[in-house]
């Protein structure tokens, strides 16, 4: 089967890689539009999120699948992509610490949550006073290295097209392809083959920081309070993120960067310097489920999008699911089928 994958963010990369491994004849196009979400993201997989410490949707299904997929890519390219990394969760109030202990006792969370006497190498860098929980089973996927490795592979195989695919191109593409799959991230909200989808795009900003403290180079674990800090090596940290549903500018802005710094100094007392300020748009959906499946106007046009805030966890499982559908005609789960919208589900 000859397939054109449009977009080489994390969605298009994982889908095109999966289709190729399963024998499809794939081409990938990307116009390198600015502010793509996959270039801003830390690629974190966090099993337990929010103020109520709730387990992520189908984490137990998706996480092992994601790990196997990313590790297969690592083996193929010889590039480290998957980093098991515990998240330390700072618990500010006695109520938060109690809620945490209650969650730890829930059998559904067995093995995922723990408590620490202190924050280890982080301790000297933090404003003191918080209790420390730990989230096990968390990981960070290096999106930048992954997308670069696949770009290099597809370029050297002569199957990468550096071009924007328009609706006219799509119609013409059917001379050369059996189907076209759009993986356009937030730009998918303007795709005329998929009108009226319930997008709820969320712009996010983040920063790359250098922590100016001798202990910083020893830190291996992520930490979360009002922001999340993820060590990238050599004293460099990703710090984020903000959420903004009413935005005019896709890039970094004074307001949101100020908001990030204000939140940072609530728990970080070590000095830092900002290496880079970043902004991008998450392809988030009102019902928080991905969009997979066929266009209502053209039976050869498909979508793989709506990964929202969780591209790292969701991309491998749902790419394989869409590959089953495209290559073997298997039905899509209703929760992710893009037709759920038209059917009012
Ligand atoms: C601040 C921030 C922090 C985040 N942190 C995390 C995190 O820690 N963990 C996590 O899992 N997720 C995180 N996310 C969410 C994550 O980034 C997304 O879920 C994911 O990256 C979406 O990937 P995508 O491939 O669908 O879209 P994108 O990354 O936007 O990629 C779309 C690609 O399509 C190309 N394109 C679009 N239209 C066309 C066209 N017509 N022709 C050719 N090319 C086209 C673009 O150039 C782009 O390369 C974060 C997002 C933000 C903004």
Query: From the CB of 7, is ligand 1 less than 6 Å away?
Result: yes
Q: Give Cα 143 distance to the centre of its chain.
A: 8
Domain extents in the chain: 2-42+143-197+287-340, 87-136+202-282
Q: In the prediction, which pLDDT does 273 show? A: 97
How many angstroms is it from 184 CA to the middle of ligand 1? 8
Q: Span 125-137, mean pLDDT?
A: 96
pLDDT tier, 171 (very low <50, low <70, confident <90, very high otherwise): confident
Instruction: Please choose, from the candidates 17, 312, 309, the residue with its C-alpha nearest in 3D space to the C-alpha of residue 139.
Output: 312
Q: 126 in helix, strand or coil?
A: strand
Mean pLDDT of the chain: 96
Residue 345, pLDDT > 60, answer: no
3-state helix, strand, coil in the chain (%, to 5): 35, 25, 40
Question: Which pLDDT belongs to residue 209?
Answer: 97
Q: Which CATH superfamily is domain 2-42+143-197+287-340 in?
A: FAD/NAD(P)-binding domain (3.50.50.60)
Q: Which CATH topology does 87-136+202-282 take?
A: D-Amino Acid Oxidase; Chain A, domain 2 (3.30.9)
What residue owns the CA closest to ligand 1's atom 2? 41
2-42+143-197+287-340 with 87-136+202-282: one CATH topology? Answer: no
* Ligand 1: centre distance to CA 202 (Å): 11
Pocket-testing residue among 8, 14, 38, ligand 1, by greatest number of atoms within 8 A of Cβ: 38
Cα–Cα distance, 182 to 316 (Å, whole number): 16
Mutation pick for ligand 1 pocket among 27, 245, 309 (CB with most ligand atoms within 8 Å): 309
pLDDT tens, residue by residue, 216-254: 999 999 999 999 999 999 889 999 999 999 999 998 998
CA 218 to CA 127: how far, in whole Å? 18
In order of 28, 63, 298, the CA distances from 13 in angstroms are 8, 18, 23
**Token couple for 307:** 């990964």
| 32-91 tens-digit pLDDT | 999 999 999 999 999 999 889 999 999 999 999 999 999 999 999 999 999 999 999 999
Q: What is the pLDDT of residue 174?
A: 84
Q: What CA–CA distance (Å, rounded) separates 29 from 4?
A: 8
Length of the chain counted residue by residue = 345
Q: Is the CB of 41 under 6 A from ligand 1?
A: yes
Q: Could you give the CA distance from residue 291 to residue 183 in angstroms, rounded to a whole number?
A: 10
In the chain, % of residues over pLDDT 90:
93
Q: How many CB atoms lie within 10 A of CB 94?
A: 9
- Looking at the DSSP assignment, which residues form a beta bridge with residue 134? 88, 114
Q: Which residues of 198-229 are buried (b: 16+ CB within 10 A; e: fewer)?
A: ebebbbbbbbbbebebeebeebebbbbbebbb
Rounded distance from Cα 36 to ligand 1 centre (Å):
5
For residue 301, report the phi and psi dihedrals to the nearest 5 degrees: -110, 130
Distance 285 CA to ligand 1 centre (A): 13
Ligand 1: residue whose CA is nearest its atom 3: 41
Distance 43 CA to ligand 1 centre (A): 11
Say yes or no: CB of residue 42 within 6 Å of ligand 1: yes
Q: Ligand 1: does its nearest atom lie under 6 Å from the Cβ of 229?
A: no
- 87-91 and 222-224 beta bridge pairing: parallel
Q: Which atom of ligand 1 is nearest to the CA of 11?
A: 25
309 lines ligand 1 (CB under 6 A): yes
Q: Is 329 left (phi over 0), alpha (psi -120 to 50) or beta?
A: left
The tokens describing 62, both together, are 């998706």
Which residue, judged by its Cα, is nearest atom 37 of ligand 1?
184
> What is the pLDDT averaged over residues 197-202?
97
Mean pLDDT of the 94-111 span: 95
Q: Is 186 in the pocket of ligand 1 (CB under 6 A)?
A: yes
Strand partners, 291: 305
């Amino acid at each position: 089967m000859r397939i054109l994958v449009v977009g080489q963010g994390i969605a298009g990369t994982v889908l095109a890689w999966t289709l190729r491994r399963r024998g499809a004849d794939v081409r990938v196009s990307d116009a390198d539009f600015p502010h793509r979400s996959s270039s801003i993201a830390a690629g974190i997989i966090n099993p337990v999120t929010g103020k109520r410490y709730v387990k992520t949707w189908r984490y137990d299904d998706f996480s092992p699948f994601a790990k196997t997929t990313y590790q297969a890519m690592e083996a193929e390219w010889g590039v480290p992509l998957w980093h098991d990394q515990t998240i330390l969760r700072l618990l500010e109030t006695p109520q938060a610490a109690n809620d945490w202990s209650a969650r730890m006792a829930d059998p559904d969370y067995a093995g995922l949550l723990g408590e620490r006497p202190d924050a280890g190498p982080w301790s000297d860098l933090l404003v003191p006073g918080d209790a420390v929980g730990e989230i096990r089973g968390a990981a960070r996927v290096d999106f930048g290295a992954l997308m670069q490795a696949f770009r290099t592979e597809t370029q050297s195989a002569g199957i990468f097209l550096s071009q924007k695919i328009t609706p006219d191109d799509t119609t013409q593409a059917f001379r050369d392809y059996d189907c076209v799959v759009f993986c356009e991230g937030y730009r998918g909200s303007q795709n005329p083959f998929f009108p009226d989808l319930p997008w709820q795009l969320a712009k996010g900003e983040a920063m790359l920081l250098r922590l100016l403290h001798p202990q910083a180079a020893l830190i291996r674990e992520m930490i979360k309070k009002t922001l999340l800090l993820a060590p990238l090596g050599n004293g460099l940290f990703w710090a984020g993120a903000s959420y903004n549903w009413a935005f005019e500018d896709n890039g970094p802005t004074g307001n949101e960067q100020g908001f990030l710094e204000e939140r940072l100094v609530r728990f970080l007392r070590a000095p830092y310097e900002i290496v880079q300020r970043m902004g991008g748009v998450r392809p988030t959906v009102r019902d928080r489920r991905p969009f997979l499946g066929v266009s209502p106007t053209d039976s050869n046009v498909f979508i793989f999008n709506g990964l929202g805030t969780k591209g790292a966890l969701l991309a491998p499982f749902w790419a394989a699911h869409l590959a089953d559908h495209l290559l073997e005609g298997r039905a899509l789960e209703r929760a992710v089928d893009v037709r759920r919208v038209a059917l009012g589900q």
